[in-house]
Structure 1
Amino acid sequence: MILALVLFIVGLLLSAFFSGTETGFYRMTRLRLVIDGLQGDRASKAMLWLANRPSLFIATALVGNNLANYVTSLAVVMGTQRLIPNGGTITDLLSPIVIAPVIFILGELLPKNLFYDAPNRLLRRFTPGLVLCTILFAPATLLLWALSQLLKMLSKTTPQELRLRLARREISQLVEEGHEAGILRPVQRTLAQEMLSVAAQPIATFAIAGSRNMRLTTDMSKSDALKLAQRHSRTLLPVEDVKQSRKLVGYIRTADLFINNEKGLPAALPMLELQADETYLSAMHKFSEAEDALGHVVDDDGNTVGFVTGRELRMALFKS
């Protein structure tokens, strides 16, 4: 009976340890780990090393949880057989049901809530145990790692994508904490959340289809150009050169049509070339350097997908 009690306590502690650290892993602030690591904190360095290898941590937590469940189940069976030797099938069925709430509260719910509220602080304290388990479970975790690599090849999901999701979640948590602390106003929080939601989207999502009826030609008059700009409500219009088989040669600002006193169209300005699969954040960075330019979105073959301006990208952050 003493052995059953010891196994039950060990299994319960293991379940609480791995359930809590798993929650803390997804709740921790990576930036704080980096800062503490730069200051020489070994626990933060070790945790950061695991954070950069999420598949290894997940495999370790999976093995640990299974071990905890096995030890706890074995302890319950041993204790039941010791207390009620001739209990039969009904006793074997009822004993796990009776003990399940205790395991759920102490081994799952309580540690998850604790690590949810203070992930960084608790992870730093339990990092040595986590590193030790990572070393002890290495044979099993290597097998799971090989399986995950096989599944990754089949699903074509890279670790970088997982890291980006974790990083995006961490930033969202920082924004929420800043709002709760009164550092960020509601509009600032909304703006940050919108940026996170659109940052990884391809620029082709925001481009306006480049139809022929919204392009200027080099032989067009000013009045016709202004009518075209008014019809499509565009301040920047692409220009085609009729002498070069209607090749796109740049863009013209509607304001320049009023300022320029020449009879013909003003000289076309160079457009900003953007790949269709380029991210929103990358395109915004290019627009910040090119100032008020017209973005020409093309596919891998160089064909026109559409056009977009920096203002249209900025306005996408205020849709909600």
Structure 2
Amino acid sequence: MIWALLLFVVSILLSSFFSGSETGFYRATRVRLTMDALAGSWVARGLIWLTNNPALFVATTLVGNNLANFLTSHAVVMMARQMLGTSNYVVELLGPIALTPFVFVYGELLPKQLFYAAPNRLLRWGGPFFLGFAVLFLPVSAILWMLGRALRYLSGEAPEQLQVSLARTELQRVLDEGQEVGVLRPAQRQLAQGMFLLAGKPLSTFCVPMARVVSVPLGSPKADVFRLAKRQANPFILVSERRGKRILGYVRILDLYLSESELVDEFNAIPEIVNTEPPLSALIHLRSQKQDLARVVDEAGKTTGIVTTATLSGRAWAGA
């Protein structure tokens, strides 16, 4: 009877541990784990490795939960047999059912609530045990992990989708916590969200194709440029060759208005940005160079469009 009761307690603890760890895994903040890993914590490094391989983590928790449930049912059957002194299939069947509410509360609900409230602290405490179980269950969990990869390959689903979803959820939670404690103001939180969303999109999304770019020839009258700028609602106008379509640069309307010349005879050079550069990096580059726009080129050096600082900044504030 003592061994059956001890097995029951151990199985409940295992069920609590794996159920809570699963919730804590999705609630943990990657930034804190990274800081702990940089500080020399091998547990944090192991947890970060698992966050980069979420399929293996899920397989480990799945094996652990199933093992805990099997041990719980087996312990209940052992106690029923020892209490009655004989094997009764009806009691063995009703015993696990009668203890289901107890197992649900203490093996599922309560640990999930605890890990939900303090995921990082409890994961740091239980991390060594979970990493040990991950190694112990590796022969079985590796099969489930490879099966999951095969299913993803057949369905065409990218393996990084779960990581991106976790990172996005984690980022949203960090920003929410920052606003709640007063570190971030609503406008700062909105800008931070917009910048992270901006960084995840290709630069071509924010480019104006060359076919839609409006320009004036070098030497055009200022009055014509003012009318064109007013109609286009642009603070600058591109300048092309006198007898060609090649873009030479651009002129700011304010600078042109302050100029004493009645013709467009000066212009600013347009910097080039490769289309593979992230939008956030392009925005930082334009801001640091104090430029209003840039020419976006492909790997062959061919111009594919024009991107403006105002467009990138506006999309960052608008949440991309």
Pairwise TM-score range, normalised by the shorter structure: 0.7 to 0.9
Equivalent pair of 2:218/2:265 in contact (CA under 8 Å): no
Relative to 1, partners in 2 of residues 1:281 and 1:62: Cα closer, same or farther, differing over 3 Å?
farther
For residue 190 of structure 1, what is the aligned residue in structure 2? Answer: 190
- Partner letter of residue 17 of structure 1? F
Looking at structure 1, the residues matched to 230 and 21 of structure 2 have their Cα atoms a distance apart, in angstroms, of: 60
Aligned residues between the structures: 315
Equivalent pair of 2:292/2:310 in contact (CA under 8 Å): no
Relative to 1, partners in 2 of residues 1:174 and 1:76: Cα closer, same or farther, differing over 3 Å?
same
Equivalent pair of 1:257/1:266 in contact (CA under 8 Å): no
Looking at structure 1, the residues matched to 227 and 151 of structure 2 have their Cα atoms a distance apart, in angstroms, of: 57
Relative to 1, partners in 2 of residues 1:219 and 1:137: Cα closer, same or farther, differing over 3 Å?
same
Alignment map for 1:55-204 (pairs within 5 Å): 55-76=55-76, 85=88, 87=90, 92=93, 97-154=97-154, 155=156, 157-159=158-160, 162-204=162-204
- Partner letter of residue 57 of structure 1? F
Relative to 1, partners in 2 of residues 1:275 and 1:96: Cα closer, same or farther, differing over 3 Å?
farther
Equivalent pair of 2:218/2:242 in contact (CA under 8 Å): yes
**How much has 1:150 moved relative to structure 2?**
3.2
Looking at structure 1, the residues matched to 118 and 75 of structure 2 have their Cα atoms a distance apart, in angstroms, of: 31
Gaps of 5+ in 1: none
Looking at structure 1, the residues matched to 281 and 151 of structure 2 have their Cα atoms a distance apart, in angstroms, of: 30
Relative to 1, partners in 2 of residues 1:260 and 1:153: Cα closer, same or farther, differing over 3 Å?
farther
Looking at structure 2, the residues matched to 158 and 100 of structure 1 have their Cα atoms a distance apart, in angstroms, of: 36
State the SS of the aligned residue for 1:16: helix
**How much has 1:134 moved relative to structure 2?**
1.2
Looking at structure 1, the residues matched to 196 and 259 of structure 2 have their Cα atoms a distance apart, in angstroms, of: 41
When normalised by structure 1's length, the TM-score is 0.81
**1:267 corresponds to 2:270:** no
Per-residue CA deviations over 1:80-112 (Å, capped at 9, x if unaligned) read: 677681528xx83x6555433322222222111
Relative to 1, partners in 2 of residues 1:278 and 1:58: Cα closer, same or farther, differing over 3 Å?
farther
State the SS of the aligned residue for 1:87: helix
State the SS of the aligned residue for 1:9: helix
Equivalent pair of 1:24/1:123 in contact (CA under 8 Å): yes
Gaps of 5+ in 2: none
Alpha carbon RMSD of aligned pairs, Å? 3.3
Looking at structure 1, the residues matched to 157 and 243 of structure 2 have their Cα atoms a distance apart, in angstroms, of: 46
% same residue = 41
- Partner letter of residue 66 of structure 2? N
- Most deviating of 146-155 and 106-115: 146-155
For residue 207 of structure 1, what is the aligned residue in structure 2? Answer: 207
Looking at structure 1, the residues matched to 246 and 283 of structure 2 have their Cα atoms a distance apart, in angstroms, of: 26
**How much has 1:3 moved relative to structure 2?**
5.3
